[in-house]
Structure formats: structure tokens, C-alpha cells
């Protein structure tokens, strides 16, 4: 068995970006906390019990006991650094673009630390136990985010925050998230995709049960053994079942309505989903005989997009019994 490495040239890769514009509702207490930041103050919540504590940011519950909290309390803007780490080379997107310290800061009146940054100018100016004070952004630049506090600075070096009044309550935070992946097709699918770039369907047969998988996955899901025998299949097949899509969706590239069908290639034992065209949507039926319509020879790529769609062959429909077990 040959060893596969991440740099195996046989394996096709492509960038894969997952990106969503999340909008997060913050609820009563975190809402008050974020609204407070816009106003230029920091709010915690007091807890019942002995001793009473003040948790920051404000939240609906005592994180130790799970009990409901008991009302809002303003804390800070001064506080004490209880732990810190120095960053000489800030990365893009970090709060400051000059050397700074990540620090845990216990605001005056609070029972727990929050993570923020200290703009002390130098490593030597940092010490555990040092007094710091929050430096807020200008009122016009505050949006209801933890970064409304631009940073903490050594006490005495920040002006008092300008308070804003009549602030609209913060109820929802917009938190866009983007994840950049490299999608790896794996060995079996890569060989299938290369076949597509030659205008061919290459499946694999399970040596134990004899079933032909296309696209192949490199192993048989039933027997758990590698599927090493490559089988070339014709580009004709049967529509086993389908749906007519009438709903617009993110990433949609095809005009509505369109027919998305399970196509069982002749000689295959599993169907895959593809587009049916060349026939009105309301005339597509189970058992319809279809053939792949490929992109122009010069445009073939290692992707299922090399098949533009499947269209009717004009043959009589396949009898139900011939594909019944593939539903």
C-alpha cells in the first residue's frame, strides 16, 4: 500500500470558502452591555449569594451557580492587569497594528477579568498588577462592540470617555464569519474528475459485492474494502427520480424552474444528482432515458461541471422494475 501525503500530485484540490453574515441577537443583559459600550461605560451584572459578585460582561446568569443575575452595575473604567502576553508583530485584523499586550483586566468593581489589549508602548511598561484604564473610541465611532473600547492604557494616560446619551439599544450584533479551506478531492474522486476532463465517466467496482460506484469513493460503503477496479461507463443512463426546483437559493446559477434528477448511468449501481434539460420540466418523468451533454472539448475540466446537463436520448422509458431498487 502506497503512502499518501498531503502533497500527492494525483489529488486535486480547490479553494473552498464558507462565509455567512451572522446576525446574533444578544438578549437582555448582553444587550445592555453593548448598549453601555456605545454610551461609553462598562456594565456588569450582580449575582446573589455569598459573597455577591459582579460578572462582566453583564449576562442573565451567574456563571458559577447558574442562578439568574440581579441587575446591572457599572464597573471600571479603571482596572488591574492580572495576566498579560506581549505581541511584537501584530497580525492583520488584530485590535492594534503596533506592538501591544493581550491582557486580562479586572475592572474596578468587577469580580472577573475580561480579555482586552493594553497599548503600553513597550514590553517594559507592562507588569502584572499595573493599573490601566479603558480608552473608548469617539462616540460617533462606537457601534455596540467590544472594540468600542479601543484598548486599555496605563492609568493617567487616557482622557475620560465622552458619554453618549439617548443611544438606540443594541439588540443584534453583526458577526460575519469567513473560513478559508483547501478542499481535497481525495484519490478516488480525483481520478473520476480527471476522467471528466477527458469526457469520460470512470467508476470503481467493489471486488467483494461487485457493485459499481460512480462517482467512486475509494471504498465500498457496504463492505468497507478498497474499490480498486476502474470501470468506464457510458454517458447514457436513466432518471430514477427527480424534483422540479422552483425556489431561488444562494449560489444558484440555473434559471428556475429546473429539474434536478437522480441519474443512474448504464452499468452503475448508484445514481448521482444532475440537471435535466432539453425537455420541458413538466414532461420529465421517472424512467426517462438520458445522455450527458458535455461542454466543448476545449472547455473540459476536472469537474462535474464538464457535464452541462443530461438530455433525453429519445429511447422508450426504462421499465420501473429496471431501476426500482435504486430508489
Partner 1 sequence: MSERCAVIGVGQTFHAAARTDVSIAGMVREAARRALDDASLDWPDIDAVVIGKAPDMFEGVVMPELYLASALGAVGKPMLRVHTAGSVGGSTALVAAHLVTSGRHSRVLTVAFEKQSDSDAMWALSVPQPFSPPLLAGAGGYFAPIIRAYIRRSGAPDHIGIEVAVKDRLHGLRNEYAHLHMEDINFDMVRDSIMLWDPIRYLETCPSSDGACAMVLGDEHAAESSQVPPAWVHGMAMRSEPTMFAGRDQVNPQAGRDCAADVYRQAGISDPRREIDMAEVYVPFSWYEPMWLENLGFAAEGEGWKLTDSGATSMDGGDIPWNCSGGVLCTNPIGASGMLRFAEAALQVRGRAGEHQVDGVRRALGHAYGGGSQFFAMWVLGSEKP
* Residues 193 to 222 in contact with partner 1, rule: CB under 8 A: 193, 209, 211-213, 220-222
* Residues 43 to 72 in contact with partner 1, rule: CB under 8 A: 59-61, 63-67
Judged by CB under 8 A, which stretch of 10-18, 78-86, 126-134, 159-167 contacts partner 1?
A: 10-18
Judged by CB under 8 A, which stretch of 20-28, 37-45, 162-170, 228-236 contacts partner 1?
A: 20-28
- Assigned C-alpha cell, 233: 461507463
CB of 94 to partner 1, least distance (A): 20
Distance of CA 6 to the CA centre of its chain: 22
DSSP string covering 64-104, please? TT--B---EEEE-SEEEEEEEEEESSPPTTSS-SS-EEEEE
In contact, 261 and 278? CB cutoff 8 Å: no
* DSSP three-state, residue 314: coil
Q: Is 247 among the residues that bind partner 1 (CB under 8 A)?
A: yes
In sign, the C-alpha dihedral spanning 268, 271, 276, 279 is positive
Binding-site size, partner 1 (CB under 8 A): 73
CB of 116 to partner 1, least distance (A): 18
Name which position in 50, 246, 280, 296 contacts partner 1 (CB under 8 A). Answer: 246
Q: Is 252 among the residues that bind partner 1 (CB under 8 A)?
A: yes
User: 98 CB contacts (<8 Å, ≥6 apart)?
Assistant: 90, 119
* DSSP three-state, residue 135: strand
In contact, 256 and 248? CB cutoff 8 Å: yes
CB of 326 to partner 1, least distance (A): 8
Name which position in 6, 7, 9, 18 contacts partner 1 (CB under 8 A). Answer: 18
CB of 32 to partner 1, least distance (A): 11
Question: Per-residue x/- marks for partner 1, 142-171, CB under 8 A?
Answer: -----------------------------x
**Cell numbers 438578549: residue:** 27
CB of 11 to partner 1, least distance (A): 12
For residue 286, whether the previous peptide bond is cis, meaning omega lies within 30 degrees of 0, is no
- Assigned C-alpha cell, 138: 469617539
Entry field: residues in the chain? 327
Q: Is 240 among the residues that bind partner 1 (CB under 8 A)?
A: yes
* Residues 70 to 99 in contact with partner 1, rule: CB under 8 A: none
CB of 50 to partner 1, least distance (A): 15
Q: Look at strands 114-118 and 100-107 and give their pairing.
A: antiparallel
* Residues 261 to 320 in contact with partner 1, rule: CB under 8 A: 261-262, 269-270, 273-275, 281, 286, 302-305, 320
Cα-trace Rg, the chain: 31
CA distance 213 to 289: 19
CB of 186 to partner 1, least distance (A): 11
* Residues 25 to 44 in contact with partner 1, rule: CB under 8 A: 25-30
Q: Is 172 among the residues that bind partner 1 (CB under 8 A)?
A: yes
Amino acid at each position: 500500500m502506497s503512502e499518501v501525503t498531503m502533497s500527492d500530485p494525483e489529488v486535486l484540490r480547490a479553494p473552498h470558502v464558507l462565509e455567512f453574515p451572522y446576525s446574533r441577537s444578544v438578549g437582555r443583559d448582553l444587550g445592555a452591555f453593548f448598549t453601555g459600550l456605545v454610551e461609553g461605560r462598562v456594565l456588569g451584572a450582580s449575582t446573589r449569594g455569598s459573597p455577591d459578585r459582579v460578572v462582566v460582561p453583564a449576562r442573565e446568569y451567574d456563571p458559577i451557580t447558574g442562578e439568574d443575575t440581579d441587575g446591572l452595575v457599572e464597573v471600571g473604567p479603571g482596572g488591574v492587569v492580572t495576566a498579560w502576553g506581549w505581541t511584537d508583530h501584530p497580525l492583520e485584523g488584530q485590535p492594534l497594528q503596533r506592538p501591544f499586550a493581550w491582557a486580562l483586566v479586572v475592572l474596578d468593581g468587577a469580580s472577573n477579568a475580561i480579555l482586552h489589549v493594553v497599548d503600553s508602548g513597550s514590553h517594559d511598561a507592562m507588569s502584572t498588577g499595573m493599573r490601566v484604564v479603558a480608552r473608548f473610541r469617539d462616540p460617533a465611532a462606537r457601534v455596540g462592540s467590544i472594540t468600542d473600547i479601543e484598548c486599555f492604557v496605563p492609568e493617567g494616560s487616557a482622557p475620560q470617555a465622552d458619554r453618549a446619551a439617548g443611544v438606540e439599544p443594541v439588540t443584534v450584533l453583526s458577526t460575519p464569519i469567513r473560513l478559508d479551506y483547501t478542499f481535497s478531492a481525495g484519490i478516488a474522486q480525483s481520478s473520476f474528475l480527471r476522467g471528466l476532463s477527458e469526457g469520460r465517466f470512470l467508476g470503481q467496482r467493489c471486488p467483494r459485492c461487485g457493485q459499481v460506484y460512480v462517482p467512486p469513493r475509494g471504498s465500498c460503503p457496504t463492505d468497507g474494502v478498497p474499490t480498486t477496479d476502474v470501470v468506464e461507463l457510458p454517458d447514457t443512463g436513466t432518471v430514477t427520480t427527480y424534483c422540479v426546483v422552483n425556489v431561488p437559493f444562494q449560489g444558484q446559477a440555473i434559471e428556475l424552474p429546473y429539474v434536478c434528477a437522480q441519474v443512474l448511468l448504464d452499468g452503475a449501481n448508484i445514481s448521482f444528482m444532475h440537471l435535466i434539460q432539453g425537455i420541458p420540466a413538466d414532461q420529465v418523468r421517472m424512467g426517462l432515458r438520458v445522455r450527458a451533454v458535455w461542454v466543448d472539448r476545449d472547455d473540459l475540466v476536472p469537474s462535474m461541471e464538464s457535464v452541462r446537463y443530461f438530455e433525453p436520448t429519445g429511447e422508450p422509458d426504462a421499465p420501473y422494475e429496471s431501476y426500482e431498487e435504486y430508489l
